[in-house]
């Protein structure tokens, strides 16, 4: 089912886009948890990590390549950053279109949770 991220991909609602290619879109999170908080999403609608298929193998590579490029472009690659992807209720997922949070711009306090 289409989510708010599909509306952003289709330019039906606005977002501050920082990266786009034919498979991936990245934009600023509306409620940032760090000085830099980018959401990196596949254009393909995949609700959760559990729904990934063999055919999505290359797409996940595309996403990580995009993350590395965005981090360099935003000047946080060398200092470092964190990538988080939440799945379902216990993981705290709220938008059911897989996405990767790219967080940086300061030293993040906790390691995992």
Q: Which residues participate in catalysis according to the annotation? A: 99
Contact 71, 20 (CB under 8 A): no
H or E element at residue 81: strand 81-84
CB of 105 vs ligand 5GP, minimal distance in Å: 15
- Which of 61, 92, 106, 108 touches ligand 5GP by CB under 6 A? 92
Annotate each residue in 17-56 with x if it binds ligand 5GP (CB under 6 A) or - if it does not, as one string: ----------xxxxx-------x-----------------
How many Cβ atoms are within 10 Å of 85's Cβ, its own excluded?
A: 15
DSSP E strand boundaries for 15-80: 17-20, 24-28, 36-42
Q: Which residues bind ligand 5GP (CB under 6 A)?
A: 4, 15, 27-31, 39, 86, 92-95
């Amino acid at each position: 089912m289409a989510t708010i991220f599909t509306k952003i991909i289709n330019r039906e609602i606005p977002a501050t886009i920082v990266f786009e290619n034919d498979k991936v879109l990245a934009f600023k999170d509306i409620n940032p948890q760090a000085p830099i908080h980018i959401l990196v999403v596949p254009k393909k609608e995949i609700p959760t990590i559990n729904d990934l298929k063999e055919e999505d193998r290359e797409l996940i590579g595309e996403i990580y390549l995009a993350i590395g490029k965005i981090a360099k472009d935003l000047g946080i690659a060398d200092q470092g950053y964190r990538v988080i992807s939440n799945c379902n209720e216990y993981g705290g997922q709220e938008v059911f279109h897989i996405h990767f949070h790219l967080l940086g711009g300061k030293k993040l306090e906790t390691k995992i949770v």
